Amino acid sequence: MGYHISILRAASDPIGLEEVTQAISRMSGRLAFDQDAQPDPLICRPEQGDASEIMLLADGELWAKNPSVEFLRLMIELAGLLGARVRGDELETYRTPDETYQHPDDSELIAEAAELSRKMASRQRSRDWFARFVMIGVFVLIGCVYARFIK
């Protein structure tokens, strides 16, 4: 499946193609648009050619799948130029590739994820107890059948 990293701003302030173009032009050629990409523009590291990692611009966010540490550094720099931030799948916001924090904009999402996790754990505990109850019942039934017909 992969781990996705996004460059985003508040939902009311999507990132546009023109501002990405301007920001990339200020990065000394370390990032560029893949001119052949269709239908969505791809951002790549031109010095790596076809082996480059890529970012996609979709729905007002840039995102990459499983970026390397160096590509993540470039994403953080680009986010700074866009007045945006870099967020991972686990709702952590990156200051650097090694330092993350929980951004206030994600508080509600983090609370929802924690509640969902708690509910899933509770359901799993219930299933575990039910499975134990069924196993004990089966052994009791076997013991009763054994006691009745074998003796």
The pLDDT assigned to 102 comes to 87
pTM, full prediction: 0.71
Q: Average model confidence (pLDDT) for the chain?
A: 84
pLDDT digits (tens, 9 = 90+) for 79-113: 999 999 999 988 899 999 999 998 888 877 667 76
Residue 43 pairs in a beta bridge with 33, 55
Given CA atoms 98, 63, 92, 104 in this order, what sign does their dihedral have? positive
Please count the other Cβ atoms lying within 10 Å of the Cβ belonging to residue 80: 13
Yes or no: say if 127 and 135 are a contact pair by the CB < 8 Å rule: no
Helix (H, G, I), strand (E, B) or coil at 94: strand
- For the stretch 23-40, pLDDT in tens is 999 999 999 987 666 676
Sheet holding 32-34, edge to edge: 32-34, 42-44, 54-58, 61-65, 4-8, 85-88, 93-96, 99-101
Q: Provide the pLDDT for residue 35.
A: 62
Strands (DSSP E) contained in the chain are: 4-8, 32-34, 42-44, 54-58, 61-65, 85-88, 93-96, 99-101
**Tokens 């590291």 sit at which residue?**
45
